[in-house]
Amino acid sequence: MVQVALAATAAFTAAIVVALTAAGGTFAYLSTSAPLSAGTITSGTSTLTIQNVASYPIAGFDATALLPGASVFTGTPLTVKNTGDASLSVTQGATSFGTAKTINGYLNIVVGRVANSATTCTAGAGNVLGSGYTLAPQATMKVCVTVTLAAGSPGTVAGQSTSFSIPLDGSQVRP
């Protein structure tokens, strides 16, 4: 009985080998390719200007004799424009100072967005750009800059002066 089973298994295995060998010559593997032309890719632009220039020195900004608790501000709003072709989220970057002075730690410098129809600024005017304001391509917004010397400033800052720069940062907004 075992021999019959082994003989049947051997015959069956031989039949499979013969079938696979014979059929092996009939398999065909087809392949093809087609080019995909993507065309031209052009990167976008993101550019901010202030008063139509890349870096604007605030004209007429007089912070001489700034007393503790007092503020000075731009007299008229400054126009910020997105001259690029991508929408930007505009925020106020970190203020940098020209020299290391004690007074720097007691100054609060804020850029606030005001209505585009605004013609004058006041202390603390506008909505702070902290969380960002979306500026569409070629759109403008007006901002006011306020500098306040902290009310609790120590006497050691008396007579000190410093220069500063405030970057307005624009980050692309996903379309």
What are the structural domains of the chain? Answer: 48-53+63-172 (2.60.40)
Question: Facing residues of 143 across strands?
Answer: 78, 113
DSSP reduced 3-state for 34: coil
Question: Facing residues of 171 across strands?
Answer: 89
| pLDDT above 90 for 148 | yes
Q: Are 92 and 166 in contact (CB under 8 A)?
A: yes
Q: How far apart are CA 47 and CA 51, in angstroms?
A: 13
Confidence of residue 37 (pLDDT cuts 50, 70, 90): confident
How much of the chain, in percent, has pLDDT values that exceed 70?
Answer: 84
Q: What distances in angstroms separate CA 79 from CA 23, 27, 82, 144, one per listed residue?
A: 79, 73, 10, 9
Question: Facing residues of 97 across strands?
Answer: 164
Read off the pLDDT of residues 7-34 as tens digits, 9 standing for 90 and up.
455 555 555 555 555 555 555 678 888 8
Which pLDDT belongs to residue 106? 95
Q: What distances in angstroms separate CA 72 from CA 25, 99, 108, 113, 121, one per listed residue?
A: 90, 20, 11, 16, 10
CA angle 66, 118, 59 (to 5 degrees): 45
Tokens of 36: 């995909």
The H or E element containing residue 165 is strand 164-165
